[in-house]
A = this chain, B = another copy of it.
Amino acid sequence: MLIVMKHDASAEEVTRVVDVIEEMGYEARPMPGKQRTAIGLVGNDGKVNADRLESLPGVLEIIHVSQPYKQVSREWREEPTIVQLANGTRIGGGEVVVMAGPCSVESEAQIVGIAHSLREAGATILRGGAFKPRTSPYAFQGMGEPGLKLLAKAREETGMAVVTEALDEESLARVAEYADIIQIGARNMQNFSLLRRAGRTGKPILLKRGMAATVKDLLLSAEYVLAEGNGQVILCERGVRGFDTHTRNLLDLTAIPVVKSLSHLPIIADPSHGTGLRAKVIPMARAAVAAGADGLMIEVHPDPERAMSDGAQSLYPEQFEELMQQIAVIAEAIGREMQPSLTGRPVRAVV
């Protein structure tokens, strides 16, 4: 059960609620957020009689939640969360949104160049790693802050919003300064400390599903961000560990409708990591949209053969144009629209 306090509730009012909860024989977990404080009541085996709490000063409402995750659940909030970016892109509101770009930022020519062609094709968000989590300490670890500056430059020139990954406290501070959306990668999905700090930035968070994470685990991780008063969370299915080596990961597209029924948060799919194979990205991007994804994250590189990371799963720019046209028809077929492109031209090519 959650006791949600009014925006202007005083510290004394919060303390009073805590005291009453403890008098009732339960435990109280105050969760101060930016906007308001909620107080979790735990330790109850069954239903709690909330009469005494409802009438206390400062209490806005009482929410009974049947899931271990609370604020991310449909029970807590009926209508879908829509994440709105400065460049007009809306995620979660019916439009299909595309984030695209290289695995890693490598140079100004690379990132600004590709941003222009992605914009032309209809993407409105640019991805590109400046801080890269690599399984080997000897692999290319990203350009760091200079990479962020190049992303900002690309944004300036094209109007695209920027999403890029934060790995730790240090890079989070840098990323929060430059990015429109902060990505928390699959390997950090249960880095709860980073989730809390990311939540506190107030910026939209793109949270990728971990390789061994259940949907429930994913929602509980998102709950860490919401518990900080930040409701701007976008979930991302990017493949879980599977036993078949034909693909790099096992893209679990069913997670999309499952998340939709349990939570009000938007969810997108990343078929690039989800398959690890360039030739499978287009069909699986189509499938993700058909399954109800609110968007896609796609790796595109001007010259995949020479990419410093993930070349094998990066599309050629021409393939990306084709992908945009293919998903545009799927989106339309299921009664959704593509996020309007920044060029003013419709995404769908004249056939």
Identify the A interface with B (CB < 8 A): 29, 31, 40, 42, 68-70, 133-138, 167-171, 187-188, 190-194, 196, 210-212, 214-217, 220-221, 223-224, 227, 240-247, 250-258, 261, 274-275, 279-280, 283-284, 286-292, 326, 329-330, 332-334
- Measured between beta carbons, the chain B residues less than 8 angstroms from A253 are 251, 253, 284, 287
- Measured between beta carbons, the chain B residues less than 8 angstroms from A29 are 138
* Cα separation A253 to B216 with both chains bound (whole Å): 22
> Could you tell me if B291 and A284 are in contact, using CB atoms closer than 8 angstroms?
yes
20 contacts between A and B (CB under 8 A): A137-B223, A137-B224, A138-B227, A187-B190, A187-B191, A211-B212, A214-B245, A215-B246, A216-B244, A240-B244, A245-B245, A246-B255, A246-B258, A251-B252, A257-B284, A283-B292, A284-B291, A289-B290, A290-B290, A333-B333
- Measured between beta carbons, the chain B residues less than 8 angstroms from A211 are 212
Min distance, Cβ A323 to any Cβ of chain B, angstroms: 12
* Cα separation A188 to B136 with both chains bound (whole Å): 15
Q: How many copies of this chain are found per oligomer?
A: 4
Residue of B192, B196, B290, B329 touching A283 (CB-CB under 8 A): B290
> Could you tell me if B188 and A167 are in contact, using CB atoms closer than 8 angstroms?
no
> Could you tell me if A212 and B243 are in contact, using CB atoms closer than 8 angstroms?
yes
- Measured between beta carbons, the chain B residues less than 8 angstroms from A246 are 214-216, 255, 258
Residue of B40, B137, B193 touching A138 (CB-CB under 8 A): B40
> Could you tell me if A212 and B240 are in contact, using CB atoms closer than 8 angstroms?
yes
> Could you tell me if A244 and B214 are in contact, using CB atoms closer than 8 angstroms?
yes
> Could you tell me if B243 and A247 are in contact, using CB atoms closer than 8 angstroms?
no
- Measured between beta carbons, the chain B residues less than 8 angstroms from A137 are 31, 192, 196, 220, 223-224, 227
* Cα separation A215 to B68 with both chains bound (whole Å): 28
* Cα separation A192 to B168 with both chains bound (whole Å): 9
Residue of B221, B242, B261 touching A279 (CB-CB under 8 A): B261
